[in-house]
Structure 1
Amino acid sequence: MHCELCLSEHAEDVLCDNVHWTQVGLSTQDVEGEPPPVDLTGQTLGHYKLVRRLGAGGMGTVYLGEQTRIGARVAVKVLHPHLAHDESLRARFYAEARTVNVVSHPHIVHIFDISEAPGGIHYFVMEYLEGVPLSRLHRPVAPAQLVPLLAQACDALHAAHRCGVVHRDLKPDNLFVVRHAAEPPTLRVLDFGVAKARRPPTEDETAAGIVLGTPAYMAPEQWAGQPVDGRADIYALAVTAYYMFTGQLPFERGQMAELALSLGPVGPVPPHVLAPAVTPALSDVLLRALSRRCDDRYPTARDFKEALLAALAPPQAAHSVDEPPRGSTPVPSHTSSPSPSLSLAEAETPAEPVSVTPPLTWTARVRRRAGTSDVEVRCTELSKGGLFMCCAEPFPRLFTRLEFTLLLAGEEVECVGEVVRHVDSVQARAWSMSPGVGVQFINPSARLRDLIHRVQPHRRGTPAPPAPPSEAHL
């Protein structure tokens, strides 16, 4: 299976200059003996002069173009001349332009001309965008900055899905953040080159299918070669969100590969365990969108958008300003900084309440090596996936297995977990939290899952937490 690799992250010549980037949306193909791309810089195609080569991939080359009559800047995508004789490849090349024009949405890159120049040169002309692909933003990105951009991506996908088009290759490289001088940044979805309408493909289209998606972002049904619908795009967007929020992928090789190759249980670490700025509510939204079964995900991109925005918004209707919901923690607006070439809108910082209810805490007795006594630690951020143990440095090494007894709802339950995250004292001060380690549950028992369900912070009637023990070394 050939997989797409977007040049915007891996080729130096994608840089337009020190500040400006352009969308590329190309794919590479590891084919031995394939002729190198032809550089058409300086030539004129129709009314467009090719000023500078921006990037090249398996299907074509993108140039910075200039409209010869009015001087407007555009991006011109040219099919490689050595592929132009293949009718099926020409059809796939032009299918991208037709697909984009069918959807016609403000958050999808606009293609406004398609033509053939003398000599059998096939090309189409796109709007030239100034900004950066999402992959170039500094990670982790704060939810207040990222969620509005994800919502715009959902709007674009919803419009595409309503037209019967599934993108099939969403990833950070194909989501372009556009800069505006005095306005918040906006997002464009790029590269519909592997998009597919919900109809049976012809034999030629199947044979020409040199790209099937990017493994780490592909939904399980796409990995398995089954028919896909818009829920595959929802899955890919959730992988993208997880990566931008936490700095790591939920499944490095893709979910299907992990199921086939992993020796242990397969499941993503809840995002809020890896990134304290992500709330448990937002974490739950992403985990649902990452469900292995497409029926368990959000039915539409609009539903996914509404869930993202609801998880980001503070629950002001149910609580007064000076009485925030129990278990809530302030999300610092400075947990991440955008790329120097892009100024994302700063999140509005709410007024600090007169009194802040501390987050719910639980007590865990962690067993240490033989001959030493157990250590009591305070735990926060409890979820069905794991919890956060507040403790002093030095921390246990990452992936250390911990056995501990957790006190929940007046009952002791035995647990096993693995250390997946360190938050040192410097990070803790920046994030207004305690230092410690994030722990992912390993094969949680049915009783543990039931108790967590009963004491989750967002549920009413949560019992008062025990008095927290002093911080200790694990």
Structure 2
Amino acid sequence: MHCEHCSSEHPASLSCEDQETWTDVDSTGPAPRQVASATPALVDLCGRTLGHYRLTQMLGSGGMGTVYLAEQIIIGARVAVKVLHPDMAQDTQLRSRFYAEARTVNLIGHPNIVRIFDINESKDGIHYFVMEYLEGTPLSRLPRPVEPGLLAWLLVQACDALEAVHRSGVVHRDLKPDNLLMMERPGELPTLKVLDFGVAKALHDTATSEPTMAGQVFGTPAYMAPEQWAGQPVDGRADVYSLGVTGYLLLTGQFPYPRGQLAELVLSPEPPPLRPPHELAPAVPEALSRTLMRALARNPAERFASALDFKKALLAVVRPAPRPYPVPLPLRPSTSTPIPAIPSRPEPNDPTPPPTWTARVRNNTGSVVVHCSEISRGGVFMCCAEPFPELFTRLEFTLQIGGEEVECVGEVVRHVDSALARSWRMSPGVGLQFINPSARLRELLIRLRPPRRPSAALQPPPVQEALAHL
């Protein structure tokens, strides 16, 4: 399980090289120095209620705040709540930076960027904001080397998000594998979310923006562009460089430059030699290797001018032959599916029809019976015709499962219209997330789909065919 904004996964931890965020560099010296404690005093707020949210579990802690799993008291939906460290709450600039993160994310509003729902301060001075709760795998936890097609697919989505970030006049400044989350759902290609905008910076500060001291640096050294590392002004090309470092590391298992060469990269007249990825990992196509090398150019003018250009280059070097429709990918077994899965297509030669369930949905005029083609511990997919109930609509229904009728409440979280259903060879309909499922429903769902131990034979699925549809 990944903590969206604290840059950590639990229970494992990152190496110090991945985690450190530096600030305030002396331009006359070869390396930045840390000015803030890397381990702020933690206050466990589990059990506290902030606004409409009850904090249930501490997920992790970063430089600015602690992230908790929380439950919306009224409807029971799970969210993540980021709380500013109490010892920082008295500092006006730090408090401003904390709230700037939420405002930045809301300003961009991109599907590949974590969503912010609410921002507030409690009566006793606790500053917090509420985010969507994501379950997935940070790229820092993928087995290395990552299959080139999968990596390209993930980087393309990161470029889409970055293009929106940069168009909004913002630079992320702390892109790294632990701030990029891969989510997998049955019948879908892996999706990527960009996280943690805690050190993001507007390209053009307004008079009300937090001032930036000369020579001040924010970021993680191993992933920072040379101009950022040296404390110089940065633009979107610094994020392109960081994404290049991420791709290089995941493809080869090595950083482009060891820590000892970072000062040489910034200060020497000529950069230290850099081996192309395909020389370290023969499975990497040479064209993809050249693309990453351009993203890693020391001079920003020699990199891709924008994240969109980087995306186009990735598509040009890995685009496969087109396929008539997207291929649903097998996923690693999971014991929890917070968002209902899209039903997988049966094998073409399998005479056994896929299982279905029946639900009686109540509305203002009575009730209607619908078939359900997919069910999980997180929710259910109902086959129905358009017009669909609006997203986030709450539905009450009776579900027939395991020979019983169980009363349920769900929230509409997904639409699959007719066009999309045809391309996936399934029925149109809506996906619902269960709200406060009863103990009996949970018991029946466990019987229906008992937890399975992940098989070592399951490998990250190839996704190159998906690039043909972008």
TM-score band w.r.t. shorter chain? 0.5 to 0.7
Percent of pairs with identical residues: 60
Q: 262, 270, 294: which is aligned to 1:288?
A: 294
| 2-structure distance, mates of 1:310, 1:255 | 32
The residue correspondences of 1:281-430 to structure 2 (distance < 5 A) are 281-314=287-320, 344-347=460-463
Q: 195, 204, 217: which is aligned to 1:199?
A: 204
1:34–1:54 Cα change, 3 Å: closer
The residue correspondences of 1:42-57 to structure 2 (distance < 5 A) are 42-57=47-62
Deviates more, 1:64-73 or 1:198-207: 198-207
Letter in 2 for 1:220: P
Letter in 1 for 2:125: G
| 2-structure distance, mates of 1:81, 1:208 | 27
| 2-structure distance, mates of 1:263, 1:303 | 28
1:162–1:128 Cα change, 3 Å: same
Compute the displacement of 1:58 (Å).
2.5
TM-score, normalising length: structure 2: 0.61
| 2-structure distance, mates of 1:161, 1:94 | 19
| 1-structure distance, mates of 2:158, 2:271 | 32
2:191 match:
186
Q: Secondary structure at the match of 1:141?
A: coil
| 2-structure distance, mates of 1:216, 1:198 | 22
Structure 1 vs Structure 2 CA RMSD: 3.3
| 1-structure distance, mates of 2:287, 2:455 | 30
Q: Is residue 62–residue 78 contact of structure 1 (8 Å, CA) maintained in 2? A: yes
1:27–1:214 Cα change, 3 Å: closer
Bigger Cα Rg = 1
| 2-structure distance, mates of 1:181, 1:288 | 35
Letter in 2 for 1:345: P
Q: Secondary structure at the match of 1:12?
A: coil
1:120 match:
125
Q: Is residue 6–residue 65 contact of structure 2 (8 Å, CA) maintained in 1? A: no
Q: 249, 270, 273: which is aligned to 1:267?
A: 273
Q: 220, 240, 260: which is aligned to 1:234?
A: 240
Compute the displacement of 1:180 (Å).
1.4
Deviates more, 1:197-206 or 1:72-81: 197-206
Letter in 2 for 1:299: A
Q: Is residue 42–residue 51 contact of structure 1 (8 Å, CA) maintained in 2? A: yes
Question: 5+ residue gaps in structure 2?
Answer: 23-33, 323-453, 466-470
| 1-structure distance, mates of 2:198, 2:104 | 9
2:251 match:
245
1:384 match:
none
Encode CA deviations 1:150-174: one digit per residue, 9 max, x unaligned. 0000000001111111101100011
| 2-structure distance, mates of 1:90, 1:161 | 24
Q: 101, 106, 112: which is aligned to 1:96?
A: 101
Detail structure 1 runs of 4+ shifted over 4 Å in the superposition: 6-11, 25-35, 200-204, 207-211, 260-265, 339-344
The residue correspondences of 1:13-32 to structure 2 (distance < 5 A) are 31=36
1:242–1:306 Cα change, 3 Å: same
Encode CA deviations 1:388-416: one digit per residue, 9 max, x unaligned. xxxxxxxxxxxxxxxxxxxxxxxxxxxxx
Letter in 1 for 2:229: W
Number of positions where the alignment pairs a residue of Structure 1 with one of Structure 2: 314
Q: Secondary structure at the match of 1:169?
A: coil
Letter in 1 for 2:462: E
The residue correspondences of 1:74-223 to structure 2 (distance < 5 A) are 74-200=79-205, 204-206=210-212, 212-223=218-229
TM-score, normalising length: structure 1: 0.60
Letter in 2 for 1:181: P
Encode CA deviations 1:328-365: one digit per residue, 9 max, x unaligned. xxxxxxxxxxx98997433469xxxxxxxxxxxxxxxx
1:38–1:26 Cα change, 3 Å: farther
1:19 match:
none
2:404 match:
none
Letter in 1 for 2:461: A
Q: Is residue 66–residue 83 contact of structure 2 (8 Å, CA) maintained in 1? A: yes
Greater relative contact order, per chain length (Cα 8 Å cut-off, separation 6+)? 2
Compute the displacement of 1:57 (Å).
2.2
1:446 match:
none
Q: Secondary structure at the match of 1:94?
A: helix
Compute the displacement of 1:265 (Å).
6.6
Q: Secondary structure at the match of 1:119?
A: coil
Compute the displacement of 1:181 (Å).
2.8
Question: 5+ residue gaps in structure 1?
Answer: 1-5, 16-24, 317-338, 350-474
